[in-house]
Amino acid sequence: MAGDDMRRDGVSPETDELASTLMGDAFDLLASGEGFEVLLVVQDEAGTVSSYEFEDDGPEACLEGARDRVRELAGALRYAIAYEGAVADEDGSYADALLLEFGERGYRAYSAYSLIGGKGAGDRFTWTDPAPAGELEPLL
């Protein structure tokens, strides 16, 4: 694993596409009212994408399970993790959000969020454009 000072900044187009697709799939599930704890997609060096859902434990255990899976997968090149959470407003109140973590071997890892509303409301489900939420510890 490269040291943080050796990692590239930014996001490759392939990682952006992987993360965007996962976020869109998560929005579809939320709009339809289908619940999930943590969704994970991983792409290997051959371009094969594998999808996982973690749901048999609490939210924190599922998130740790997804992160552990990324670390354990031989040949993993890039990943994205999506889960529901909340983000604080400027006034200290919290708003429902879809949270996203993503990274790629040799790059820094990042997180983003999109505020959501109307879960299960079909076409009335709303979301904001993703906003950056900061840098994370890389899993690859």
Q: What is the arithmetic mean of pLDDT over 11-28?
A: 96
**CA separation, residue 36 to residues 26, 45, 101, 109, 136 (Å):** 9, 28, 16, 23, 22
- How crowded is residue 19: how many other Cβ atoms within 10 Å of its Cβ? 25
Mean pLDDT of the chain: 93
Q: What is the mean pLDDT of residues 106-116?
A: 96
- Looking at 3-89, list the stretches that DSSP marks H as alpha helix, in order from N- to C-terminal side: 13-32, 59-72
Is 22:29 a contact under the CB 8 Å cutoff?
no
Entry pTM: 0.92
